[in-house]
Structure 1
């Protein structure tokens, strides 16, 4: 995917759902994976010409897996002249040693968000941008159907008054394959995920299932995304 197309899709989402306002202080949640690094790069480029002025920074929650090294993320932020914060935690120990009977992904996500939101409040940042792409939206909806018996996907924007922050998802129209191609073209170095359950989760099952469906029925992904955007979910912006 070319940079112009990437920025166009991100800007489309931002403007359709009014994700940015003048004076916003936005932090991109950076895991070190291809999606979050692409979003960080794109937001930096967008910042140069977008009509609404916003500050930009990056934040990483280090959950404490052995071997995780975010030096590359820090260097990438330096190259973009973006302030970077790393929040060190013991979430891995809490999830896999203290609570092994609880589903690790949901507990880990909850603890990560709590740690980051606390840091964002201290920094006076009012919005955090997550790098959920188009495929993530589709897979979430499929998981909702399979495991919860309802049709739902996380919203493009969520106001969290108790945390004092608003979550935005500017990459909702960007396909995963486009991100993968962009990272290769730009030579962006990603950080390998050290989570022991990576690749064996319900989300991975949904991802593989959706790929099979789209192979057998070309265009299924696009039609499902259309259904999501027009789903009129109660917590989606009107």
Structure 2
């Protein structure tokens, strides 16, 4: 269909999608560059669950792979945990159709979890540990140098507040970190992407979404409370989520209270001015949230998110 045959409504829809796709590509490209997520010769294992986030991550990484000034390969990996009702044909058909190298791992963790966990109790913790161990093993088998997960900006903020409210820790979900077994580098290319953008993108691309509640586990009430809070803030105070995420990228240890992160015990007044010094007598001045950007004070990019949608 040519532009001349498109209706005005269709043209507007196409324009909006192109704009959305370009924004997501640049967000992913910026995250990759700022944290040096992907390097020359990397083999990236993209963990694909069948949800909107992992589909979007794979789709955008495949696009960036074509335009990036470095060479890296992608292997999509799905873990079929043998949950009742899991449509096992959807992901192989989709991945084969787009020509992506992939592996479908079949491990009956569902039976293990239902045998070990008392009925009515949440199964997520054990299920996650089993899944993590299997994916680490597969990463070694295929020689993956990076493991890519589909967590986005809102997931990272939710984790921050979950740890603050329920764990007593100022701890989020990092865009890049070594795995807990010390053998892999885990990356989150969607770290700068808003969930509402991902929802719109996945809807427009018509990915064959697989429901996330097949295991029948109870929803995480604490996480749901945090998610509802963030959505409410985003609706009532535009720009607040952006500002909060920016704060995670601009940490000032001297103005927190963790003696393990800052040597409060041994600081002395030496007469030298310091940028992070206390300004106890100054009135706090805060910026307009719309003018705060995570792009401030970042190092030069290495991988470009090139081209228009």
Cα offset for 1:103? Answer: 5.0
Q: Hey, what's the Cα distance between the residues in 1 that align with 2:232 and 2:217?
A: 22
Matched residue of 2:38: which SS? coil
Cα offset for 1:198? Answer: 5.6
Unpaired segments of 5 or more residues in structure 2? 1-16, 254-260, 262-298, 300-309
Q: Is the 8 A contact 2:40 2:71 kept in 1?
A: yes
Unpaired segments of 5 or more residues in structure 1? none
| Structure 1 partner of 2:295 | none
- Report the CA distance shift for 1:232/1:105 in structure 2 as closer, same or farther (over 3 A): farther
Q: Is the 8 A contact 1:61 1:87 kept in 2?
A: yes
Structure number with higher strand proportion:
1
- Please state if 1:149 is matched with 2:163: no
| Structure 2 partner of 1:203 | 223
Aligned length: 235
| Structure 2 partner of 1:129 | 148
Cα offset for 1:92? Answer: 2.0
Cα offset for 1:79? Answer: 2.6
Cα offset for 1:161? Answer: 8.0
- Please state if 1:231 is matched with 2:251: yes
Q: Hey, what's the Cα distance between the residues in 1 that align with 2:180 and 2:157?
A: 27
- Report the CA distance shift for 1:16/1:134 in structure 2 as closer, same or farther (over 3 A): same
Match of 2:237 among 217, 230, 236: 217
| Structure 2 partner of 1:11 | 29
Cα offset for 1:15? Answer: 0.1
Cα offset for 1:135? Answer: 0.6
- After superposition, the C-alpha distances for 1:71-117 in whole angstroms (9 at most, x for unaligned) are 22222212321111122222222223313387522221111010011
Match of 1:178 among 183, 187, 197: 197
Structure possessing the higher radius of gyration over alpha carbons: 2
Structure number with higher helix proportion:
1
- Superposed, 1:67-82 pairs within 5 Å as 67-82=85-100
Q: Hey, what's the Cα distance between the residues in 2 that align with 1:201 and 1:60?
A: 27
Matched residue of 1:87: which SS? strand
Cα offset for 1:24? Answer: 0.4
- Please state if 1:92 is matched with 2:110: yes
| Structure 1 partner of 2:279 | none
Q: Hey, what's the Cα distance between the residues in 2 that align with 1:188 and 1:25?
A: 24
Q: What TM-score, normalized to structure 1?
A: 0.90
Match of 1:120 among 129, 139, 147: 139
Q: Is the 8 A contact 2:122 2:217 kept in 1?
A: no
Match of 1:50 among 52, 62, 68: 68
Cα offset for 1:130? Answer: 0.3
- After superposition, the C-alpha distances for 1:193-215 in whole angstroms (9 at most, x for unaligned) are 21313644432222112212333
Matched residue of 1:69: which SS? coil
- Please state if 1:23 is matched with 2:41: yes
When the two chains are superposed, the root-mean-square deviation of aligned CA atoms in Å is 2.2
Cα offset for 1:179? Answer: 0.6
- Please state if 1:65 is matched with 2:83: yes
- Report the CA distance shift for 1:195/1:232 in structure 2 as closer, same or farther (over 3 A): farther
Cα offset for 1:160? Answer: 3.1
Q: Hey, what's the Cα distance between the residues in 2 that align with 1:33 and 1:231?
A: 32
- Please state if 1:169 is matched with 2:174: no
Cα offset for 1:166? Answer: 1.0
